[in-house]
Amino acid sequence: MAKTDTPEVVAQISTASIVVAIPEQLSTDLADDVVILHLQSGMYYGLDEVGARVWQLIQTPQRVSNIRDILLAEYEVDSPQCEQELLALLRELAHQKLIDIKHETVS
């Protein structure tokens, strides 16, 4: 997986990227939200309902386009807005070093 701490890698997240939650974290559901503890930094992060759904999906490697398609099927949102907000969330998760990013195809 690519190192997610460089601005270049974070900026390169696209619908073709494959993302997965890092193993060095603990997360728990709270109602419709999720709270994540980054074990190395000791920082806590919170995600709302849609962010929690994305977090649930990326517990295993997922192509960003697949996540987008699932969200489009589950929520009332148009495709461009969904993709834009999904990429923004993933960039923030990458910036916080909570996900790994791969820029190649899955076998």
Digit-coded pLDDT (tens) for 18-56: 999 999 999 999 999 999 999 999 999 999 999 999 999
Average pLDDT over residues 72-77: 97
Q: Which residues pair with 18 in a beta bridge?
A: 63, 102
CATH number at residue 65: 3.90.930.60
| 12 is a domain residue | yes
| 2 is a domain residue | no
Residue 4 pLDDT level (bands cut at 50, 70, 90): very low
Q: pTM value?
A: 0.86
| 107 is a domain residue | no
What is d(CA 36, CA 4) in angstroms, rounded to the nearest whole number? 17
Burial class (CB in 10 A: 0-12, 13-18, 19+), 52: buried
| 62 is a domain residue | yes
3-state SS, residue 90: helix
The first and second tokens of residue 54, run together, are: 């994305």
Nearest to 13 by CA among 21, 22, 4, 24: 4
Domain count for the chain, please give it: 1
pLDDT of 106 above 70: no
Domain that holds residue 21: 7-102
